[in-house]
Amino acid sequence: MLDSLRRPCCSIAPPDLLAWLASQGDQHERDAAIQSLATSAAMRSRRAVLGHFSRELNQNIGLIGLVSLTQQGVTVYDNQTNGRNFLPGVKKRAVGDPVAIDPAVNEAFDGSSATATFYRDVLGRNSLDNAGMELVSSVHYGVGFDNAFWDGSQMVYGDGSGRIFQLGALTRAVDVIGHELTHGVTEFTAGLVYSKQSGALNESFSDVFGSLVKQYSLQQTATEANWLIGEGTLVTKLGLALRSMKSPGTAFSGDRQPAHMKDYVDLPDDNNPANDNGGVHINSGIPNRAFYLAAIALGGSAWEQAGKIWYNALTTKMGQHTQFAEAAQFTIDSAGELFGTTEQAAVRSAWTEVGVLT
């Protein structure tokens, strides 16, 4: 079977964190983690099939009959806590509509719009598929669902249970929205297989562009940004954020992200969520820090040079099974193509510092 038909749903919550809470948390944390793991698993085949059609067959996913495309660009629905059989739900806001009463609707709308604006104005990309694909979101998915994910055709947001994620936090975090929508960009371009190193790159590119959407929205330079992903989304007891691109392994209690290849976590890709599809959320810390180092070395706003270099590598050079060392060379090549030898040297130094290159 094709690799694209075997990959799971890409969700913002690290499954190893959920697995740890399911076994080691208090009763409330266990219940919330088990619910999130079970619900996320139920979406896996849906996303995998849609990803296959959208990339391998060059078939616009909106025409498969799951979500109808319009010319309005961004649309938000209310799932009304009914789950996957009621996706997308009841339409609440589209382009040109007044601000909704529901804050979650407006946050999802604004975050999707900010992501589309970033890709259009900074990278010259026309939505996720580069052909004007409608950005569809559903809020209030399930009951107290502790996750948000791109399911292969749309964004889905849980409200959080207040036991893992803070109530309403997932739609408030524009970097979480940018992260998940970038999984759609990756599906339409490199199609990085969601396993081991290629899967860690898949996660890392989503962190990179999720962070850049946030930085661009705030007009922050690379040195001004804090490089945290999902800051303030977890309950205070668990930690500050979901990931730190600057200092992998420091974001939350039990954060296992390495910052260097010497600490790479070699895990099996099996059905155990603790193994995180071979460590895709865990080992993404290595390429994440490489991007951070490159952005700091290049200076200014990270989207101006580093972001364009990484985007060029993702969309023109990488394939389904690209590994860390190949990704490093592709970004070095892209730096030379887009800018020059000084920029190439900065990118090479970043990958060397994290041990991917020697």
Point out the residues that are catalytic: 180, 281
Q: How far apart are CA 346 and CA 294, in angstroms?
A: 6
**266 CB burial (10 A radius; 0-12, 13-18, 19+):** exposed
The structure tokens 């850049």 sit at 212
Nearest CA-CA partner of 75 in 55, 56, 61, 96: 96
Dihedrals phi, psi of 149, to nearest 5 degrees: -155, 160
Q: How far apart are CA 51 and CA 60, in angstroms?
A: 10
**Residue type at position 151:** D
Sign, Cα dihedral of 151, 154, 157, 158: negative
The encoded tokens of residue 64 equal: 């498969």
Q: How far apart are CA 297 and CA 306, in angstroms?
A: 9
Cβ–Cβ < 8 Å for 142, 81: yes
Cβ–Cβ < 8 Å for 293, 108: no
